[in-house]
Each structure stands twice: as C-alpha cells, then as structure tokens.
C-alpha cells in the first residue's frame, strides 16, 4: 500500500543532486518539447526554492549576487547612483523621480545589465536613440530602478525577490506608470507575468516588439537603412519559450535591406539557451563544456557574419562564446538587434539618401519553421 | 487570458496603492495556508471535502467494466440466440465451456485488479498539495482541445517517426478492441437483431485484419526504434530504455501474434470457408496449416495464449508506463490555463506568512498535478535531449525529475 512507504524528509536529493538542480538554466526547452505537457521546470524551481529557502544550499558565487541585490539593488554590486550614467551620452533622456507622478507615455525599464554592463550599455544607448528617432515620449527611473528580482526568484530566493519586486511595484504604482518598455527579456517576463502576483499590472513591451511596431508603422524610417550582412538571430529563452515571441525580433532584422537572415539548427521553440538564464549568469560553470561555447559554435557554423541577440545575458554569453571560438569582431560580430538596426539606419544616412536597392538585394529570409504551436 | 490573481487585484483597486499590494499578498497567503491545512483532501476530481475521492471513481469504473463483462458471460450461458447465416462466425467456436467459464471469471477479476492498481496510483497523486485545475466555462474549450491533441497524438506527430508508430499501435488497438466488442454485442443480440453476417461480416473480417496488420507494423516499428540497429534508435531512446519497455512491447507483440494465430487455426478448423478470404491475413495463414492434424487443439492453445497475453496487458496497464494511455491525455487536459507560461508559482508574502516550509524536498511537497505529471511521463527522453545542461555534460537530466 502506498501509505506504508516511509522515506526520509528530503530523500529526493539522494536521487537528484543539488548540482543537477543548480545546472538548470530555466530555459524551458523541456516543458516546450514534452508531448504530454509535463511541467518539468516547475519541479526544478520548487526544488531550488527548498534548497535556497530551507537549507541555504546554493552555490557560493550566488551568495555574492544575493548580497549585491539586497544592498545595492543590482546583482553586480554597482553603485545605484550610476544607474542612469549612460544617459549622459544620449542627450534628452529624462530621469524621473519615483516621488512624482509619471507624465510620460512610456517608462523605459533599462535593467541592471543595460545600466551597468559595458557591452549592454551600448544596447541601451542604441535603443534610446531609436526611441528618440521615432519621437517616443519616454523616461527612465535611473537610480530608483532596482533589479526586478528575476535572478533571486529563479534561484529560489523568494525573500529577496519579494523585497525587490515589492519596492519596484510600489514605485511604479505610486507614479502611475502604465506602459513599460524593457530590453531585457528577464525584466520583461518578471514585470509582465509575475508582478501581477504582487499587484503590479502594466502593459509591458519588449524592445524587439516595440521596434517592430515602430518599423512597421513607419515611425522609425528604415527606407534607407542598409546592412550587407548575413545575420543569425539567437532566440532568447525568456522571450521565446516563456512568452512565445519568436517573430518580432526576426522581423526587425528582416526589415533591413541587404540583410540575409539565416537560422541555426536549433531555433524557435527548440532554440538553444545561452547558458545564463535562471541566475546561471552569477554561477560558475565548471562541469563539462560551457553552454555558451556550444551555442556560439552552432551560430558560427551557419556562416553568419553577425549574431543578433535580444537579451543582455545572451549578448554577453554569445559575445564571449564567439570570441572563445577564435572569431574576431570583424569576422563575426555579436550585438543586440537594436544595435544592428541603429547601425543600418546611420549607415544608410551616411551613404547618401535614397540609393535604390537592387533586386538581388531583396532580403532572403530563410526562416525554418518555428513550429510555434 | 488574465491570470486569476489579476482579477482579484482589479477588485481591490479602490484602496490605496500600497494597501493594494498588501491585500493581494494577503490573499495569496490565506489561500496557501488554507491549502497547507487541507493537506491531501483536494483530489484531482473530487471537490474539496467530498467523501468521494478520485481513486474511488477509478475503482467504480473498473468494477463497472468487470460487472458488464461478467454479466455478458452469464447471459451467454442462459440465452442462446443462434444466427444460421452461412457467412458469419461463432463466438467461442471450438472453445470448451470450461475455458469459457474461466474466461468470464478471470477477465472480470483482472479488470478489478487493474483498477485497484490504477486507483493506487491515483491515491499517490492525492498525497500531493492542492492545485486548482478546475474546468471553468472560460477554459473548457481549451481544455477539450488539449485533450483532443492528446488522444489524436497531435503533439507526438511533431516527430513523425514517433507519431506514426504511436498512431499505428493506438488507433489499431482501439479498433481491435471495438472489433471484439462488436462480436460480443452481436453474440448477445436476439437472432432477429443479429447483424454480423453476410457482407457486414466480410467487411468486419477485413477491418479486423487490417487493424491487426497495422498494429503489428506499429509494434515492429516500435521494437526497431528501441532495440534495432543503432541508426534507427534516437539518442533519447537509447539513454532512456528500461526493462519495462521490453515487457510492454513483448506483451503487445504477443497480443498481435496470438490474435493472428488464433484466427489462422479457427479459419482452418472451420474448413477455410470462401467468405473468410476477406480475412486477408488470417486466410492465407490458414492455408499453411489446412489439413494438419488436431486443428481444434491448436486453436484452443492459441486462444488461451491470446487471452493470457490480454490478461498480461491488463496487469501491465496500471503498473508500467503503459498507464500513459490514460494519464497523458488527462495531464494534457489539466494543463495550466490560468498562470502565464513565464510566471513561477506565487508564494505567500514572505514577511508575514506563518508557513515555514517552502519548495519541494519530498513527494508531499509537490501538488497532486505534479505527481500526476510523473505518471504521465513515459521516459521518452525528449526533455533530456533538448536540455542545454545535459548537452554540455552537466549532471542535469530533466526526465529524472519525473
């Protein structure tokens, strides 16, 4: 009889080791491919919650990120006062105070990586410039923006997640923010799908979706934009499988003349993770091959001269992976799609206006089926 | 599709923004505490507090099927309706009554046994924590679509090799079960109402053999995919094969082979009548043994083997991953339709909650739906084959979480 079976309280960890549980990047590929809808990721995250909340049994490196999030409001222990520093390079970006009512249409939620990481600050600058070009009324929170809590939650530390999230929700609700643009799919997912659990309900838009709408509506003029490159788009897990956004980033790149889009073998619902999701960004990767090396090699094998990302972690991981594979920036250049887009527009302007594209330059979109079902 | 909690928040909009946050958290808190308190009461089907639990329903269904089978056996002992049509077949032709008695005794017992075993699995799910997967007018349509995707193998056909193999086995098995049921129904009908003769019988014989053939093709395909030459075996199946897979395939193969074996000797025993040519597999086979000695004995032996292999099927149905015939479509039906794909499960407000246990370290920490998940899993290995951590040599193997 079932009820007669007695097992020790945490017997499960005799069979599934904590190392396994911490290896997960929460990329959701398992859930997505399961033909019978088994919720695998939920179980792994439940076990992380146990390890983190009940036993404080988490990789030591993660402890540093936790302390940084708790004390500095971001996982890299950077000074919050520098959060809006990138805006010095983009005149006209307004930093608003959470004590005042929000008078702009959109809040541009930059995220920690976009604010502090050198590579990703370029994404932020490009996105802000594109928004300005399209005449979008937006502002940033600057020093008052804090980590959304995604890395804390995905690693099981619900205390820390709620601490950060409640503060953010209080700020946004207090200001009356209704529309949020994010460039980080992790911020996007947390604010869109998890802040409602804490009373924060906003229209959250990822910059790939927003840029797509700006291009298709003509607010962002790409008629002269040109990029003669072979581009492979690397799917972000939190944009793709977690939120079913596969087309928007591809359409943004596909809108550029001269671009040839190629697809990696694993794309769309089967796209391979960069290795940094689920707080893996802040954990050592010491067992086996590095996930980003494996993925970068797959992207390089497509013969692409450029890799387009739509996530700050993917950007860092793919850039590192491509460089580790011995490819210099002039051979394979990794950048966020906003950077490719801005570059194409600026190049088109520099080349003189209105040069007609030749028929042979018509974009070839080799989209393998995305099996978005 | 708003998540449930968003709707709750909308109801509290008039309060101050701060208290709005707090009130939502309190609701979470309350619902989770209530959940922790009620323990295993909320089964998958039974409403909270109801004395009838899901496993009782499984038992009732099993006993019902057994009763119908037994009644059918009893009825045939007392009621004798004969069909004198030349183009037809006799049920239990050449099978001694002692065999019939054993058949109608053992099969109901096996069915009850099977339902007890399956009910035990359901009781295991009931050990889990509550999880609201109610069917509401809002999600009923999606739920049915999810269920159909399961029984029609839509998600499996994403990989044609697996999907076609499954379809061949499953649909043909269902047809063969229907073929047997039709025979039994016809057997019980009064003479005037009997329909299984003449052209109807010819078509019936043809459909039965076609389904049997398709079933065998599916089984052989499955055996090759799992145990055949390496190039036919997907990586995920190579790493996930367990002895029970061999048992299941063996029982299926036995059902198919003994089915045709029984048919072959039955046709030969009755002198291979012309109309049995419509049994396009059984008839040629019968010609191989036509005129051999002791056809009746051979027929009885094959018949017994066929019944025994079906009993084996009833035994392994609830006790091996074969239970996925029921659990997988049920699992798909119960897919979460309220929480967004990207959202983790909510937890109560960590500052105010009195709950002291979070996350999962033992079976009871999971919800009943998560435990049902583990019984819907067939260890097909798809999850592991796409796992980036597994692909790069890390210890994670998502399938093992089941």
Give A5 to chain B, closest Cα distance, Å: 11
pLDDT exceeds 90 at position A225: yes
Query: Which of B170, B343, B401, B402 should one mutate to test binding to chain A, selecting the residue with the greatest count of A CBs within 10 A?
Result: B401
First to last CA, chain B: 29
Average pLDDT score over residue span A27-47: 94
Average pLDDT score over residue span A185-210: 97
Nearest residue on chain A to B150, alpha-carbon basis: A36
Flag if B359 and A51 touch (Cβ within 8 Å): yes
| Torsion angle of the four alpha carbons B239, B245, B247, B253, in this order, in degrees rounded to the nearest 10 | -120
Give A296 to chain B, closest Cα distance, Å: 13
Which residues of chain B, if any, have pLDDT below 70? Answer: 1-50, 401-402
Give the pLDDT score at A12: 72
Flag if B401 and A44 touch (Cβ within 8 Å): yes
Give the pLDDT score at B73: 85
Average pLDDT score over residue span A279-283: 94
pLDDT exceeds 50 at position A370: no
Cβ atoms A373, A348 nearer than 8 A? no
The candidate with the shortest Cα–Cα distance to A114, out of A318, A311, A319, A278, is A311
Angle between helices B243-269 and B295-319 (to 10 degrees): 150
| Residues in a beta bridge with A37 | none
A179: Cα separation from own chain's centroid: 18
pLDDT exceeds 50 at position A357: no
Partners of B21 on chain A (C-beta within 8 Å) are 166, 169-170, 173, 198-200
Give A204 to chain B, closest Cα distance, Å: 13
Give the pLDDT score at B49: 57
Partners of A290 on chain B (C-beta within 8 Å) are 392
A326 pLDDT band, cuts 50/70/90, is very high
Partners of A238 on chain B (C-beta within 8 Å) are 342
Flag if B386 and A29 touch (Cβ within 8 Å): yes
Average pLDDT score over residue span A27-50: 94
Q: How far apart are CA B130 and CA B144, in angstroms?
A: 22
pLDDT exceeds 60 at position A275: yes
Q: How far is CA B48 from CA B31, B70, B118, B371, in A?
A: 13, 35, 21, 18
Q: Chain B, 28-47: which have a CB under 8 Å from a chain A CB?
A: 28
First to last CA, chain A: 41
pTM of the complete model: 0.85
Partners of B150 on chain A (C-beta within 8 Å) are 36
Q: How far apart are CA A276 and CA B282, in angstroms?
A: 60
The candidate with the shortest Cα–Cα distance to B225, out of B212, B210, B240, is B240
A260-262/A138-140 β-pairing:
unpaired
Average pLDDT score over residue span A158-165: 97
Nearest residue on chain B to A47, alpha-carbon basis: B360
Q: How far apart are CA A119 and CA A100, in angstroms?
A: 31
Give the pLDDT score at B314: 93
Nearest residue on chain B to A188, alpha-carbon basis: B342
A351 pLDDT band, cuts 50/70/90, is confident
Flag if B400 and A42 touch (Cβ within 8 Å): no
pLDDT exceeds 70 at position A54: yes
A11 pLDDT band, cuts 50/70/90, is low
Provide the 8-state DSSP code for B231: G
Flag if B23 and A24 touch (Cβ within 8 Å): no
The tens digit of pLDDT for each residue in A231-261 reads: 999 999 999 999 999 999 999 999 999 999 9
Partners of B23 on chain A (C-beta within 8 Å) are 199
Partners of B358 on chain A (C-beta within 8 Å) are 49-50, 53-54, 158
B335 touches chain A (CB under 8 A): yes
Three-class DSSP category at B94: coil
Both structure tokens of A53? 């909340």
Q: How far apart are CA A10 and CA A340, in angstroms?
A: 49
Flag if A50 and B361 touch (Cβ within 8 Å): yes
pLDDT exceeds 90 at position A103: yes
A230-233/A306-309 β-pairing:
parallel
Helix then strand count (H, E) for chain A reads 16, 10
Helix then strand count (H, E) for chain B reads 15, 0
B287 touches chain A (CB under 8 A): no
Helices (H), B12-96: 17-38, 54-78
B350 touches chain A (CB under 8 A): yes
Give the pLDDT score at A350: 86
Partners of A17 on chain B (C-beta within 8 Å) are 395
| Closest partner CB to A35 (pick from B155, B335, B359) | B155
| Closest partner CB to A242 (pick from B124, B341, B376) | B341
Give the pLDDT score at B41: 37
Partners of A28 on chain B (C-beta within 8 Å) are 341
| Closest partner CB to B359 (pick from A54, A170, A272) | A54
Sheet with A203-206, side-by-side order of all strands: A94-95, A138-140, A106-109, A179-182, A203-206
Give A355 to chain B, closest Cα distance, Å: 44
Higher pLDDT, A90 or B83: A90
Partners of B392 on chain A (C-beta within 8 Å) are 275, 288-291, 293-294
Cβ atoms B179, B207 nearer than 8 A? yes
Both structure tokens of B308? 């025994």
The candidate with the shortest Cα–Cα distance to A44, out of B338, B350, B390, B149, is B390
Find the range with the poorest average confidence among A85-89, A133-137, B29-33, B105-109: B29-33
Nearest residue on chain B to A175, alpha-carbon basis: B17
């Amino acid at each position: 009889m079932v009820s007669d079976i007695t097992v020790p309280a945490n017997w499960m960890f005799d069979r599934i080791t904590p190392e396994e549980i911490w290896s997960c990047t929460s990329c959701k590929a398992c859930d997505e491919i399961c033909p019978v809808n088994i919720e695998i990721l939920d179980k792994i995250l439940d076990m992380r919650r146990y390890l983190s909340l009940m036993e404080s049994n988490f990789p030591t490196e993660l402890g540093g990120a936790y302390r940084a999030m708790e004390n500095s409001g971001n996982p890299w222990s950077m000074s919050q006062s520098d959060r809006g520093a990138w805006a010095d390079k983009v005149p006209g970006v307004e930093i608003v105070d959470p004590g005042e009512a929000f008078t702009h249409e959109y809040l541009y939620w930059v995220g920690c990586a976009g604010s502090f990481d050198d590579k990703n600050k370029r994404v932020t600058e490009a996105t802000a410039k594109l928004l300005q070009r399209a005449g979008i009324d937006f502002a940033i929170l600057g020093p008052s923006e804090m980590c959304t809590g995604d890395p804390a939650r995905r690693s099981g530390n619900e205390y820390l997640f709620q601490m950060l999230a409640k503060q953010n929700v209080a700020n946004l609700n207090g200001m009356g923010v209704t529309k949020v643009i994010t460039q980080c799919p992790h911020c996007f997912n947390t604010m869109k799908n998890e802040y409602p659990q804490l009373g924060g309900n906003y229209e959250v838009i990822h910059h790939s979706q927003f840029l797509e709408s700006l291009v298709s509506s003509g607010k962002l003029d790409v008629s002269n934009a040109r990029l003669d490159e072979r581009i492979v788009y690397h799917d972000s897990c939190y944009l793709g499988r977690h939120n079913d956004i596969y087309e928007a980033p591809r359409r943004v790149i596909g809108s550029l003349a001269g671009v040839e889009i190629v697809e990696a073998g694993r794309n769309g619902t089967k796209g391979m993770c960069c290795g940094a999701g689920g707080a893996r960004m802040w954990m050592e990767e010491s067992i086996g091959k590095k996930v980003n090396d494996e993925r970068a090699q797959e992207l390089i094998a497509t013969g692409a001269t450029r890799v387009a990302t739509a996530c700050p972690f993917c950007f860092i991981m793919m850039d590192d992976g491509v460089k580790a594979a011995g490819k210099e920036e002039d051979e394979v250049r990794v950048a966020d799609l906003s950077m490719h887009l801005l570059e194409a527009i600026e190049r088109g302007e520099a080349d003189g206006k209105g040069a007609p594209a030749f028929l042979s330059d018509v974009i070839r979109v080799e989209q393998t089926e995305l099996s978005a079902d | 599709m708003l998540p449930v909690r968003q709707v709750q928040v909308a109801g509290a909009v008039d309060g101050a923004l701060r208290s709005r946050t707090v009130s939502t958290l309190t609701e979470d808190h309350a619902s989770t505490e209530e959940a922790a308190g009620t323990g295993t009461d909320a089964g998958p089907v039974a409403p909270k507090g109801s004395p009838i639990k899901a496993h009782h329903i499984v038992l009732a269904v099993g006993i019902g099927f057994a009763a119908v089978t037994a009644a059918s056996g009893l009825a045939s002992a007392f009621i004798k309706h004969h069909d004198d049509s030349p183009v037809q077949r006799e049920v239990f032709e050449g099978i001694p009554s002692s065999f019939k008695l054993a058949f109608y005794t053992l099969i109901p017992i096996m069915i009850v046994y099977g339902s007890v075993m399956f009910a035990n699995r359901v009781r295991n799910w009931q050990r889990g924590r509550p999880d609201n997967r109610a069917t509401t007018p809002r999600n009923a349509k999606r739920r049915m679509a999810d269920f159909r995707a399961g029984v029609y193998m839509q998600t499996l056909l994403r990989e044609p090799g697996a999907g076609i193999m499954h379809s061949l086995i499953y649909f043909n098995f269902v047809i063969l079960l229907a073929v047997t049921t039709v025979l039994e129904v016809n057997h019980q009908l009064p003479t005037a109402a009997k329909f299984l003769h003449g052209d109807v019988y010819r078509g019936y014989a043809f459909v039965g053999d076609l389904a049997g053939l398709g079933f065998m093709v599916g089984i052989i395909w499955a055996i090759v995919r799992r145990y055949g030459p390496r190039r036919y075996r997907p990586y995920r199946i190579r790493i996930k094969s367990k002895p029970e897979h061999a048992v299941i395939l063996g029982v299926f193969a036995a059902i198919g082979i003994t089915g045709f074996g029984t048919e072959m000797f039955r046709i030969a025993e009755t002198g291979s009548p012309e109309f049995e040519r419509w049994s396009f597999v059984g008839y040629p086979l019968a010609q191989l043994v036509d005129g051999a000695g002791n056809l009746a004995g051979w027929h009885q032996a094959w018949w017994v083997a066929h019944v025994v292999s079906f009993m084996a099927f009833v035994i392994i149905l609830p006790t091996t991953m074969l239970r996925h015939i029921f659990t997988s479509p049920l699992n798909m039906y119960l897919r979460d339709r309220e929480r967004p794909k990207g959202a983790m499960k909510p937890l109560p407000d960590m500052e105010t909650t009195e709950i002291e246990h979070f996350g999962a370290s033992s079976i009871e920490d999971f919800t009943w739906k998560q435990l049902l998940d583990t019984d819907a899993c067939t260890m097909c290995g798809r999850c592991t084959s796409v796992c980036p951590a597994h692909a790069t040599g890390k210890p994670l193997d998502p399938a093992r979480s089941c």
